[in-house]
Amino acid sequence: MPASFTPNSKITLPANGEESGTWGNLVNNNMNIIDRLTGGGKVITLSGATGEVTTGNGTLSDGQYKVLIFSGALSEINTVTFSPNTCEHVYFVKNTTAYSLVFTQGSGSNVTVLSGKSATIYCDGAGLGASITDLTTTITLGAIDSTPVGINSRAAGDFTYLNAQDGLSLGGTFVTATAPELNLVDGSLAGTVVLGKAVVYSSEGKIAATTIELDGAALTPTSTEINYLSGVNDGIQEQLDTLASGKVTTLRTVTAGSGLDGGGALSANISLAHSDTSTQASVNNSGLTVIQDVTLDGFGHVTALGSTTISIPDTLGVSQAYGNFAATTGTWYTNNVGRAVAVFYSMNVGGGNTYVRSSSAGTIYQVGGADGDSGTYDNSYFIVPNGHQWRAVGDSRRACTILD
């Protein structure tokens, strides 16, 4: 019966009566495996994008070490696979490379250890679906005022002392301010100046202060008086001199330009007005006579108006009468009377269809058709707009009448 091996560390289990005379070598090998499991460390050099840590049957292998230190000049993230995926093991891993390491054993969850960081990871050896868990995230690291605090746990209550040896992280962001800088905020009030403390703007971006001192003396101007200086960027006297040098004097005059009346010296109030350049009299039209053309000068004044009389076609039926029309089946006829006409078409019992189009190249529309039997006459009544064409197709016509 052959030897077997422990499921996780692969220590040799000789069968009863086997390995006679070689137990010394076997025991020594197993003891070396146990030594690695209990306190051994191994530096594993990685390269490229993948690496592997293997645990062999009854042989000394890297997967039997308790501590694994990963090194190597990587240029990308490296994925390290623990095999076989049936070995259950706890490792202390340290990443000394310049890139993150992703530890995996199967299709389950993986653990990522950032560059320069360490973690305690657990491989569950569940086969194809094996997962790796970062036990470091569940370890209680210390206490604040005797209240335990872990990586992902929060301490409840009020605390008087916090010692953050490796920095303070709030909401996932490390605080970079020094203790003296943080102390400047202690006692500050938003929107209010507090002696010896940092100035914090209010939500409206304002700061309220009852007294402002310069060189030990309180400033007495009101906020309204200080606002008079808004926009001043040079010496006040210099700005006054500039204003004085550009002051408008009574020696200046205003001259009315083209199309304007008025103007004069600035010693008194002056007025400017448009000149009346319009030469067009009022026009009062009526009925169908309307203004068609409006002529303006360069100042927008009306200089001429042109009128025209428009005509409105009569509605269908006004000043029109029915009359017979000798139409030939299949022939297109054009309405040239200047207004719409109505066509009444009667076909023999064989039936027929009537059509209208806007021009010889226009789309053809059917406006009447046979009723499907041969025992009655087919009639079609339709409107033909001015300039449009119409025709009837089918059995010989019985009658054609046009309202024109």
Mean pLDDT of 258-273: 76
User: What pLDDT score does 245 carry?
Assistant: 64
The dihedral built from the CA positions of residue 216, 217, 218 and 223, taken in this order, carries a sign that is negative
What architecture does CATH give domain 4-138? Sandwich (2.60)
Lowest-confidence pick of 45-59, 234-248, 327-341: 234-248
pLDDT higher at 220 or 99: 99
Cross-strand bridge partners of residue 357: 389
CA–CA distances in Å: residue 175 to residues 92, 159, 164, 247, 327: 29, 19, 11, 58, 99
pLDDT for 105 beyond 90: yes
Q: What is the CATH number of domain 322-403?
A: 2.60.120
Lowest-confidence pick of 90-104, 238-252, 352-366: 238-252
Residue 181: exposed, middle, or buried by beta-carbon count in 10 A (0-12, 13-18, 19+)? Answer: exposed
Q: How far apart are the first and last CA of the chain?
A: 119
Q: Residue 404 and residue 174: Cα distance in Å, rounded?
A: 94
pLDDT for 267 beyond 80: no
Whether this model's pTM surpasses 0.85: no
Look up tokens 């390995």; give the residue.
19
User: What pLDDT score does 23 carry?
Assistant: 58
pLDDT for 62 beyond 60: yes
pLDDT for 130 beyond 90: yes
CB of 13 within 8 A of CB of 29?
no
User: What pLDDT score does 296 carry?
Assistant: 83
Share of the chain above pLDDT 70, in %: 68
Mean pLDDT of 129-136: 93
Report the candidate in 40, 73, 52, 55 with the shortest Cα–Cα distance to residue 5.
55
Beta carbons within 8 Å of 180's beta carbon, 6+ residues apart: none
Please report which confidence band the pLDDT of residue 122 belongs to, taking 50, 70 and 90 as the band edges: very high
User: What pLDDT score does 251 carry?
Assistant: 65
User: What pLDDT score does 74 carry?
Assistant: 95
pLDDT (tens digit per residue) in 65-103: 999 999 999 999 999 999 999 989 999 999 999 999 999
pLDDT for 1 beyond 50: no
Q: Quick one: the chain helix, strand, coil %, rounded to 5? A: 10, 35, 55
Report the candidate in 149, 145, 173, 176 with the shortest Cα–Cα distance to residue 160.
145
Same fold: 4-138 with 322-403: yes
pLDDT for 403 beyond 80: no
Mean pLDDT of 327-345: 85
User: What pLDDT score does 129 carry?
Assistant: 95
Mean pLDDT of 296-312: 81
pLDDT higher at 391 or 140: 391
pLDDT for 202 beyond 90: no
User: What pLDDT score does 110 carry?
Assistant: 96
pLDDT (tens digit per residue) in 12-25: 566 555 665 565 66
The domains of the chain are located at 4-138, 279-312, 322-403
Give the distance, in angstroms, between the CA of residue 235 and the centroid of all CA atoms in the same chain.
49
Lowest-confidence pick of 159-168, 249-258, 286-295, 361-370: 159-168
pLDDT (tens digit per residue) in 45-58: 999 999 999 988 87
